Chains A and B, each alone.
Chain A
Amino acid sequence: MTTLLEPIADIGGAAQPLLDVKGLTKHFPIGGGLFAEKKIVRAVDDVSFQVGKGETVGIVGESGCGKSTTARLLMHLMPRNAGDILFDGQLVGETLSLRDLRRGMQMVFQDSYASLNPRLTIEDSIAFGPKVHGVSDKDARALARDLLTKVGLRPEVFANRYPHEVSGGQRQRVNIARALALKPRLVILDEAVSALDKSVEAQVLNLLTDLKREFGLTYLFISHDLNVVRYISDRVLVMYLGQVVELGPVDAVYDGPAHPYTRALLAAMPAMDPDERTLEPPISGDPPNPIDPPAGCRFHTRCPFAEAVCSETVPALSPVEASGHLAACHMVTPGSGHSRAPALEAA
């Protein structure tokens, strides 16, 4: 077992963020045929955030807000229009090869069935990655069986099965094992538990927590399920129409949401207590079309506090009370011109 992959070395030390995303932007051109006018979908627009070592960062937002596009951009599965992605302080193509990045960063997809090759056995699927990186067939298979045990599947039962022969929860465990086979430091979980039913989801979440401790992993946890994100994350990032609207420690954001969109999202969470159930819909209407997003703050079309300034100026991420808690709202930014904005502190 000496030929197994060594984990990618920690370079910058604990203080350096494992992932540093700056101004990430992805525009999809649509149309643009012979006669059709070319239009642009701003799927991800100037997104910046950091993920510290050993941290779990949750990304929440409605469908179509750019969560999954962000994940695929981070994995370098599609080209980006602008922005830098630094992995442990290194830029891909300069000091870090794409091959090494893909060992350091792995992803678990939402659709557990589509993300496994139906013609390969579970063992073959897990062993594929290590083999690509030069591990011998025998060692890769041993590693695959070892990882199956780690994700709670008995190798003698599951190793030779095909994906359609196991349940959804078991398949997602296989996908997790496959992601771990390359000894990554960061695992992106793109709606990894969303398609599972609640009891299986809880088991997989516990498994993820255990694996994180055992392998010293860092998670980027993408979900639309606010309860799950609160349960697993240290910090949370709220996205709306391709932009970050709020970001901060999970308790600070959940207990004191600063952005009206975050407040609306949290209000839409089903309450456990029937007496506390919400009786009116928190936000009305669908999110605006990302092809032609509203000027200024993108949320102003649905925001109950919108004022003139909101449709004119794009709000920047500004600090809220708790440390590391930021929100992109004119009501938070001192001196923004919004009637509810805090006054500028005297210099």
Chain B
Amino acid sequence: MTTASDASLQAAPVHKARGYWATVGRRLMRDKVSVVCAIILLAILLAAIFAPFLHLADPYQGSMIRRLRPIGTPGYPLGTDELGRDMLARLIYGGRLSLLIGILPVILAFSIGTCLGLVAGYAGGKVNTAIMRTVDVFYAFPSVLLAIAISGVLGAGIVNSIVSLTVVFIPQITRVAESVTTSVRNLDFVDAARASGAGPLTIMRVHMLGNVLGPIFVYATGLISVSMILAAGLSFLGLGTKPPEPEWGLMLNTLRTAIYVNPGVAALPGVMIFAVSICFNMLSDGLRSAMDIRN
């Protein structure tokens, strides 16, 4: 039933099935920078989660006679802060809140923004205009200002700063999701799926989601560092966590008076924020190239 020359193109070896994400994972593992960043992030995350089991000093226990010891003091490997509390313990315990405030708003905004963008991009027309112009309203404000304004209205606190950061990120993720969806929507395979009689929900689930999730995910990974910095900023302004809770942004704020006395210790929370942000950014870049499996 086929012509003879077809036989030659059948000679390929039997192909073993490998899922898309398995391929992406394998490619990511080959990228050294991404692997190093992933290890650093994992170490910080695990240390924060299992902090109570690490036999650290009490992060709340201060001592007026041991204030602002420099890095390397025996018994205080990273010195002490302005109230004589152990910096190592506070940095590790601080990671719990900082990472939570950094990651949770992005996850929330990712879920909500993807849904909004997918609907806007797939439906087009008036639905698109309604969603995207509403989103544009939020774009009128700089994100720092918006986060401060919402936090200020809701009042200080961890939950409120998570809510305000989520609101800040939803428009950005929605916009990316909408533009990716619009470009995928015009491809023939979506028309082919419509031509096979599938409804819009089935098409969005089976054909759209898998193709738009990747780029949005990469973008969201990059937002984690922004989220951490904004959260640190809110805490710095007294709108996020309250003392004596350890949190990197807040620690940076309270230690700033010690910047001339003991600059090494004062900079430590900033170093943590910097390290985590840069690792998330590098990882997001690595993910972006790993997901481009056509190359």
**Cβ of A322 under 8 Å from chain B:** no
Determine whether the beta carbon of B192 is less than 8 Å from that of A203: no
One of B1, B2, B6, B196 near A182 (C-beta < 8 A): B196
Q: Are B195 and A154 in contact (CB under 8 A)?
A: no
- CB of A132 within 8 A of CB of B202, answer yes
- In the bound complex, how far is the Cα of B82 from the Cα of A244, in angstroms? 86
How far is it, in angstroms, between the C-alpha of A128 and the C-alpha of B202 when the chains are bound? 10
Smallest CB gap from A77: residue in B: B191
Of all chain B residues, the one with the shortest Cβ separation from A190 is: B188
Alpha-carbon distance between A165 and B206 when the two chains are bound, in angstroms: 20
Residues of B within 8 A of A152 (CB): 1-2, 6
B192–A107 CB distance below 8 A: yes
Contact among B14, B192, B294 for A156, CB-based, below 8 A? B14
Which residues 120-152 of A sit at the B interface, judged by CB distance below 8 A? 120-121, 125, 128-129, 132-133, 150, 152
Interchain CB contact under 8 A, A157 and B294: no
With A157-B15, A164-B294 known as contacts, the answer to whether A207 contacts B195 (CB < 8 A) is no
Establish whether residues A132 and B196, one from each chain, have CB atoms under 8 Å apart when the complex forms.
Answer: yes
Contact of A203 among B5, B191, B194, B210 (CB under 8 A): B5
Q: In the bound complex, do residue B3 and residue A203 qualify as a contact, i.e. CB atoms below 8 Å apart?
A: yes
**Complex contacts, B293 vs chain A, CB 8 Å:** 164
Shortest C-beta distance, A326 to chain B (Å), equals: 30
Contact status A114-B16, CB under 8 Å = no
Interface contact A161-B211, CB-CB below 8 Å: no
**Closest Cβ of chain A: how far from B118's Cβ, in Å?**
15
Bound-state CA distance A145–B195 (Å) is 21
Nearest residue, chain A, Cβ from B20: A119
CB-CB contacts below 8 Å: B1-50 with A: 1-3, 5-6, 9-10, 12-17, 20
B156 part of interface (Cβ distance < 8 Å): no
Judge whether B2 and A203 touch: CB under 8 Å.
Answer: yes
B193 at the interface (CB under 8 A from A): yes
Nearest-CB distance from A231 to chain B (Å)?
Answer: 15
Q: B197, A133: Cβ atoms under 8 Å?
A: yes
Does A199 sit at the interface, judged by CB under 8 A? yes
Tally of B interface residues using CB under 8 Å: 32
Cβ-based interface call for B189 (8 A): yes
Known: A99-B197, A119-B20, A128-B193. A109 touches B2 (CB 8 A): no
Chain B residue with Cβ nearest A164: B294
Given A132-B197, A157-B10, A162-B20, also A118-B202 (CB < 8 A): no
Any chain B CB within 8 A of the CB of A80?
no
Name B17's contact: one of A102, A153, A160, A199 (CB within 8 Å).
Answer: A160
Contact A114 B6 (CB under 8 A): no
From known contacts A98-B197, A162-B20, A206-B2, infer whether A118 and B192 are also in contact, taking CB-CB under 8 Å: no
Chain B residues lying within 8 Å of A206, measured Cβ to Cβ, are 2-3
Q: Taking A114-B189, A118-B211, A203-B5 as contacts, is the C-beta distance between A157 and B12 under 8 angstroms? A: yes
Q: Give residues 178-224 of B contacting A (CB, 8 Å).
A: 187-189, 191-198, 202, 206-207, 210-211
Q: Point out the residue from B1, B9, B207 that lies within 8 Å of A117, measured CB to CB.
A: B207
**Given B9, B13, B14, B192, which contacts A178 in the complex, CB threshold below 8 Å?**
B192
| Inter-chain contact B15/A160, CB cutoff 8 Å | yes
A117–B210 touching, CB < 8 Å: yes
Q: Nearest chain B CB to A6's CB is how many angstroms away?
A: 15
Residues on A with C-beta less than 8 A from B188 are 109-111, 114-115
A106: Cβ under 8 A from any B Cβ: yes
CB closest chain-B residue, reference A106: B195
The 8 A CB mask of A154-188 against B (1 = contact, 0 = none) is 10111011101101011000010010011000000
Residues on B with beta carbons closer than 8 Å to the beta carbon of A263: none
Q: Does A72 contact B (CB under 8 A)?
A: yes
Knowing that A120-B206, A152-B6 touch, tell me 18 more A-B residue pairs with CB under 8 angstroms: A75-B191, A77-B194, A102-B197, A107-B195, A109-B192, A110-B188, A115-B188, A128-B206, A154-B10, A157-B15, A160-B15, A164-B294, A178-B196, A203-B3, A203-B6, A207-B1, A210-B2, A214-B1
Would you list 16 pairs from A and B whose C-beta atoms are within 8 A, ordered by A residue? A75-B195, A77-B195, A98-B197, A102-B195, A102-B197, A106-B195, A107-B192, A110-B188, A115-B192, A117-B206, A125-B189, A133-B196, A157-B13, A161-B15, A164-B294, A207-B2
A-B pairs, top 3 by smallest CB distance, nearest first, are A152-B2, A129-B196, A160-B17
